[in-house]
Structure 1
């Protein structure tokens, strides 16, 4: 006879097949039901992770994300559908998780995690899942976790591969504990990896990595299997391989006891509008300049400048002396000023640095669009 449980009959029936697992019984299930997990980001990792967390029986999930559903993201953000476009991600997430587990408590947090609120957010939970995609957020999360002694399940995905680890250091961690800074002591520059507009990601890879992350969460919270801080898993989708290695605590590293003042901007974070941006757009919209988009073809599908603004297109990947001369010759037939733009301004700046001399041969003046397409208000964009 099954002992009396705090779980409802509906929940017991829903997770009944888990109770048949060797080494996993009602006590383990109740640990999951009593746990509070904070998920940072309802994105490619956060969505499948939360789907699995709710399905497995985690009782309380808080999710922090200040963005809305975008059609170009739902190939990997699998909690959302096309009909949800434009709705706050955390609002849709709450609906979907309640459908998976009627008894769940979901706390939607529609704002950005910052140095002002990170420690407070971490103090009230049993474990944090970092589903973010920027160094700025990952190091802020890692430091907040070490300050509060909160276990942190960490994951990254780029193109066809991903990494997963459980970090646990600071107050209450076993022994010395192991944190992210034991592996990567200093935060890399945001420009040291491809930006999210150009790198690409296979949607199913994020689901695999999120599944590995959720497994670490279940093992840690339920107390089953081996849950080892510092155990790194690396997954390669194309090679169908999974490797693991251990990260040890650095005995010479000072543990983090307070957050830094600034963790920098995310490479894909929308920049604040600069005074130069309206001027550059005005040149385009008034016909005093022609636009030159140096993004790749797939990026134009996501968002672009309004159709009323004249423009030419030369993807950076095919830019050469011949192709650049060809497009600048076409531009010279339209205007004597060219506003070059990309996703965030980096590639357009590089274009100016490389090709301004060639542009002068055609009597052209080149300008880079500060902030690129990402710097434009969403309501203005076409896509």
Structure 2
């Protein structure tokens, strides 16, 4: 589909042996494998969906894989994020994932973006790839990925999971008439209103579900690249792990939802549902020791800071909104005070007023 008329890279003898089971498939010949080798796929999110997605794309022989994820590995991730082990706790997800898939297939080039995807960097990052596989778990990034794919003319292979259910589709696919197919906003033009969705971590997810849906997502990526089979264009595939049932819904819109500019979506939880992620001092020190990039902000008063501080940037709570330009949105931001109360208030303020994420409250106790 993507490389039909271009010169394709030759397979080495080692690659021909590695992908022998592909080459034995009906309709899957050397050219299909060469298309995979030529492909550049950006995976946004190296968590539950990203784990099987990255493993299977690397194993299949995708030539270049980009990984976007700013997060670190937490014990609660291990129930479903099969790329990681207890020895990886506190480490960068993106860097650890890259190490694993390089070990799985040394023929794959891996590019790591250890940053939060936002309106400032999304277009530039996505423009470097042929298609995007969206493995995010929040509405702001999901809409951002969709809109950036439309604006850069990239295919968006979408998947999402919640509790026992998963969804997969292929958006912004090039059509024979030169137009682009439907995008995520054809399905959900705007995020759900506050109060209609549960807290982003309280809903839970069956551990095996992202393995199933992430594998389906990888399957769609491979189909799109090789041109084999029929991708989920104009259709939404639904899977229910509890009842072991599936449905494929045809999307009825005739024209793609128009997108003319990139804008970041607000944080769509009610104020009472907004969460304040926290980290311990021990985790902070581990981040420092392994070189994990983050910004530390102290929201106390200057006299408190002068008596004792942790070396963070001083922005008193009352001056926070006047100093947003000083906050590094490319990396996690850790905010602290004396007791944790003012730092929690600062995070809630940035979530409610600015829709910002990737903020952590430092627990001093």
TM-score by length of 2: 0.72
Indicate if the aligned counterparts of 1:273 and 1:376 stay in contact, CA closer than 8 A. Answer: no
Helix, strand or coil at the partner of 2:208 = helix
Aligned partners of 2:205, 2:92: CA distance in 1, in Å?
22
Larger Rg: 1
Give the RMSD, CA atoms, in angstroms.
3.5
Aligned partners of 1:160, 1:83: CA distance in 2, in Å?
28
Helix, strand or coil at the partner of 1:245 = strand
The partner residue of 2:208 within 201, 204, 209 is 204
Query: Shift of the alpha carbon at 1:197?
Result: 2.6
Helix, strand or coil at the partner of 1:192 = coil
> Once the two structures are superposed, what CA deviation does each residue of 1:120-178 show, in whole Å capped at 9, x if it has no partner?
11211111011001111111111111111110011110011110000015899854511
Q: Give the number of aligned pairs.
A: 293
Residues 108 and 171 (structure 1 numbering): CA distance in 2 closer, same or farther, change over 3 Å? farther
The partner residue of 1:82 within 68, 83, 86 is 86
Residues 154 and 190 (structure 1 numbering): CA distance in 2 closer, same or farther, change over 3 Å? farther
The partner residue of 1:376 within 348, 361, 365 is 361
> Once the two structures are superposed, what CA deviation does each residue of 1:311-343 show, in whole Å capped at 9, x if it has no partner?
xxxxxxxxxxxxxxxxxxxxxxxxxxxxxx9xx
Query: Shift of the alpha carbon at 1:190?
Result: 5.9
The answer to whether 1:152 aligns with 2:156 is yes
The partner residue of 2:135 within 122, 131, 136 is 131
Helix, strand or coil at the partner of 2:151 = helix
Higher relative contact order structure (alpha carbons within 8 Å, sequence separation ≥ 6): 2
Aligned partners of 1:169, 1:18: CA distance in 2, in Å?
25
The partner residue of 2:46 within 42, 49, 54 is 42
Q: How does 1:29-178 map to 2 (within 5 A)?
A: 29-168=33-172, 174-178=178-182
Indicate if the aligned counterparts of 2:39 and 2:62 stay in contact, CA closer than 8 A. Answer: yes
- Gaps of at least 5 residues in structure 1 are 277-308, 310-340, 346-370
The answer to whether 1:247 aligns with 2:247 is no
Helix, strand or coil at the partner of 2:172 = strand
The answer to whether 1:257 aligns with 2:260 is yes
Query: Shift of the alpha carbon at 1:181?
Result: 1.1
Indicate if the aligned counterparts of 2:75 and 2:89 stay in contact, CA closer than 8 A. Answer: yes
Indicate if the aligned counterparts of 1:119 and 1:148 stay in contact, CA closer than 8 A. Answer: yes
Aligned partners of 1:209, 1:83: CA distance in 2, in Å?
26
TM-score by length of 1: 0.68
Query: Shift of the alpha carbon at 1:107?
Result: 0.2
Residues 90 and 38 (structure 1 numbering): CA distance in 2 closer, same or farther, change over 3 Å? same
Query: Shift of the alpha carbon at 1:70?
Result: 1.1
Query: Shift of the alpha carbon at 1:8?
Result: 2.2
